């Protein structure tokens, strides 16, 4: 099998578009498009995949991309089904195209995702509660914790603490570590690094400097100040121990 195409969403979260060549096209519903490089995030870790568009350099023909996903290590773009297309014919192998993500949506996901890390870091640091899962949409998200003593009063306190950390302007650092090095970091062990597939040689880590460190594949902003503020919109018990906290971004 040929080497996987270049996947910029993992190395540069701020890359919005890229010129690429079509490596494969599979007509169908939806049609699937493979490029030699892409800025699309394929989804994972609770962060939805990017949407956007592919446009051909030769004639400007444009195809909306409704989603992306990973198939056998490659990022595959799902084009809008044929009936909804304005252009008709599909791109062909070898075509030079520009792949561009829906940046306002992605950037909101990056802010949301980073806010969830800060929430996770605060809840661990100040209450010793471990995160067990999470999910997000652009502008809102939820996290589940093993957090027996969570209450309405604590939720207000948590909201204030998260906003203080966001305003503190903490840098967000992404690194790729050899497996052994990553598995030696105590903070990573607590965030279920053990669930990573046994075969992988490297682990990507995301650090909110001074607050939170996780094994993570998603996209984040470079500094917590870029998130703005959050509001806790709800919390619920998913059992005696498991609690869910919902947040949303506060737009100024
Ligand atoms: Zn993350």
Measured in Å, residue 113 CA sits from the centre of ligand 1 at 6
Q: Nearest Cα to 7, choosing from 207, 226, 204, 209?
A: 204
Phi/psi at 157 (5° precision): -65, -45
CA 169, CA 221: separation in Å to the nearest integer?
Answer: 11
**Cα(218) to centroid(ligand 1), Å:** 5
When pLDDT is averaged across residues 158-163 and rounded to a whole number, the result is: 97
> What is the distance in A from the centroid of ligand 1 to the CA of 158?
19
Q: What is the pLDDT of residue 195?
A: 64
CA dist., res. 212 & res. 206, Å (int)? 8
pTM reported for the whole predicted model: 0.93
> Residue 240's pLDDT band (boundaries 50, 70, 90)?
confident
Q: What is the pLDDT of residues 57-72, one digit of tens each?
A: 999 999 999 999 999 9
Residue 87 has pLDDT above 60, yes or no: no
Give the pLDDT confidence score for residue 233 in this predicted structure.
95
Percent of the chain with pLDDT over 90: 74
Question: How does residue 198 score in pLDDT terms, banded at 50, 70 and 90?
Answer: confident
Q: What is the C-alpha separation between 164 and 141, in angstroms, rounded?
A: 19
Q: Mean pLDDT throughout 18-35? A: 95
Burial (CB count within 10 angstroms: exposed 0-12, middle 13-18, buried 19+), residue 222: middle
- Give residue 182's pLDDT band: very low, low, confident or very high (50, 70, 90): confident
CA-nearest of 196, 99, 199, 115 to 158 is 115
Which burial class, exposed, middle or buried, applies to 2 when counting CB atoms under 10 A from its CB (0-12, 13-18, 19+)? Answer: exposed
Residue with the bigger pLDDT between 20 and 237: it is 20
* Average confidence (pLDDT) over 29-45: 95
The arithmetic mean of pLDDT across residues 2-23, rounded, is: 91
User: How many Å lie between the centroid of ligand 1 and the Cα of residue 215?
Assistant: 8
Average pLDDT over residues 188-208: 76
Cα angle for residues 217, 75, 183 (degrees, 5° grid): 25
| Mean residue pLDDT across the chain | 91
| Model pLDDT for residues 203-236, shown as the tens digit of each residue | 899 999 999 998 888 999 999 999 999 999 999 9
State in Å: Cα 157 to ligand 1 middle.
23
**Ligand 1: distance of its center to the CA of 248 in Å?**
16
Compute the distance from residue 63 Cα to the ligand 1 centre, in Å.
Answer: 29
- Ligand 1 centroid vs 219 CA: distance in angstroms? 6
Under DSSP, is residue 70 helix (H, G, I), strand (E, B) or coil?
strand
- pLDDT reported for residue 1: 41
Q: At what angle do helices 152-167 and 103-127 cross, to 10 degrees?
A: 120
Please say if the pLDDT value at position 109 is more than 90: yes
Mean pLDDT over 239-248 rounds to 93
């Amino acid at each position: 099998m040929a080497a996987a195409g270049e996947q910029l969403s993992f190395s540069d979260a701020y890359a919005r578009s890229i010129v690429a060549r079509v490596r494969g096209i599979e007509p169908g519903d939806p049609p699937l498009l493979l490029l030699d490089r892409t800025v699309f995030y394929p989804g994972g870790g609770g962060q939805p995949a990017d949407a956007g568009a592919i446009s051909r350099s030769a004639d400007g023909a444009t195809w909306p991309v409704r989603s992306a996903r990973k198939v056998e290590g490659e990022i595959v773009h799902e084009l809008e089904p044929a009936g909804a297309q304005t252009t008709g014919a599909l791109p062909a192998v070898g075509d030079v195209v520009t792949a561009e993500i829906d940046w306002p949506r992605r950037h909101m996901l990056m802010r949301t995702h980073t806010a969830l890390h800060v929430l996770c870091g605060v809840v661990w640091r100040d209450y010793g509660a471990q995160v067990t899962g999470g999910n997000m949409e652009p502008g809102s998200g939820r996290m589940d914790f093993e957090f027996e003593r969570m209450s309405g009063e604590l939720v207000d306190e948590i909201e204030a603490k998260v906003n203080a950390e966001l305003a503190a302007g903490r840098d967000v650092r992404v690194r790729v570590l050899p497996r052994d090095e990553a598995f030696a970091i105590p903070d990573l062990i607590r965030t279920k690094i053990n669930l990573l597939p046994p075969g992988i040689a490297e682990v990507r880590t995301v650090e909110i400097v001074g607050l939170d460190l996780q094994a993570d594949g998603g996209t984040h902003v470079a500094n917590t100040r870029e998130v703005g503020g959050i509001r806790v919109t709800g919390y619920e018990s998913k059992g005696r121990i498991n609690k869910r906290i919902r947040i949303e971004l506060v737009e100024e």
